[in-house]
Homo-oligomer: A and B are copies of this chain.
Amino acid sequence: MSRLTLAELASRFGLEQVGDGAIGIDGVCTLTPGKPGHLAFLSNPKLRPQLAQTQAAAVIVGKRDAAGIRAGLVAADPYFAYARIAALFDRYREFTPGRHPSAVIAADATVGEGCAIGAHAVIEAGARIGAHCYVGPACVVSRDVQIGDHCRLEARVWIGPGVRIGKRADIQPGAVVGSRGFGNAPTPQGWVSVPQLGGVVIGDDVEIGSNTTIDRGALDDTVIGDGVKLDNQIQIAHNVRIGAHTAIAACVGIAGSARVGSRCMIGGAVGIGGHLVVADGTVVMAGTAVTKSLPRGVYGSIMPVMDHRHWRRTVAHTRRLETYVERIKALEKKLDLSQPPDEAPGEDDV
């Protein structure tokens, strides 16, 4: 994208312009230090004091900051406006349609108009790829896959046989979608592999991060709803269902048949146990071990960092909690203080 004027951006995105509309914008930048000829944004009110010092040519702000800038754009949601404008300058996502001669595309695969198929990509028999898709270098799209319009498979992505993906998916390198679920039947002679015959169904506007893995279902499908955003190195086991617009941070593991609701926010490195249900709109803090189904709410479980000496003593005391509780009871008995009736840990505590 070559230079645009502030007035052109205001007009294109329906934003109010402040200051000289002829200012040229060559790209976007951070508010501090900012960059001449570039456009920054202010979304976090804590950063307001930085407005005065920025070297940015113009700033996207909310209504209440419009008076505080010399030049810029006023938006109801400055971060959202920034996201849309910044996309104009995301030059590495532009592509020229075509098929690299080294790509292997099955004769009966269908590739829509305006697609780019990269070097050493493989599109297997029966696959159907929508229009205006980018299938980057070394991607493998297996048999009978269906992919909607305007999808991007960055590079080295594997889409397993029969997987169905909606429109505008953005899949990062190394992602694996539709691998065999981890199903094995115990026998006296060892584990016997249980065929995984289900598929994976992915909605529209889904992002899948680098080296994230999504297994196919055992018999039914694994399902990822519309607008779900998955960060890197997430593991989603067979038959998991994730509701629309849920965002999941990196390194999360979700065990088989778990159901995560819509519009949830799942922090990094969370683990969710098999067959559990997490309600719509639930927030799970980073690192939490989800061991039971969760009604809507906000949840945590990690023990945060401590100095190692403090930590070691805390570990030792935690392990002895039972004896401390006995000692409290002995004290209460000696003093004839009444005890709560039910003190035995229940079976359902873990």
Chain B residues closer than 8 Å to A47, beta-carbon distance = none
Chain B residues closer than 8 Å to A192, beta-carbon distance = 80, 83-84
Q: Is the CB of B317 within 8 A of A86?
A: no
Q: Is the CB of B209 within 8 A of A211?
A: no
Chain B residues closer than 8 Å to A231, beta-carbon distance = 182, 235, 237
Asked if A107 is at the interface (CB within 8 A of a chain B CB), the reply is no
Q: Which of B161, B211, B317, B330 contacts A337 (CB 8 A)?
A: B330
A30 and B305 in contact, given A193-B170, A210-B213, A213-B211 (Cβ under 8 angstroms): no
Chain A, interface size category, equals 35 or more
Asked if A288 is at the interface (CB within 8 A of a chain B CB), the reply is yes
A162 and B350 in contact, given A80-B185, A193-B83, A250-B182 (Cβ under 8 angstroms): no
The 3 closest A-B pairs by CB, nearest first: A316-B345, A190-B227, A300-B311
Using a CB–CB cutoff of 8 Å, the interface residues on chain A facing chain B are 27-30, 77, 79-80, 82-84, 86-87, 89-90, 92-93, 100, 102, 104, 118-120, 122, 124, 136-138, 140, 142-143, 154-156, 158, 160-162, 170, 172-174, 176, 179-180, 182, 184-185, 187, 190-197, 205, 207, 209-211, 213, 215, 219-220, 226-227, 229, 231-233, 235, 237, 244-245, 247, 249-251, 253, 255, 268-269, 271, 273, 283-292, 294, 297-308, 310-319, 321-325, 327-328, 330-332, 334-335, 337, 340, 345-346, 349-350
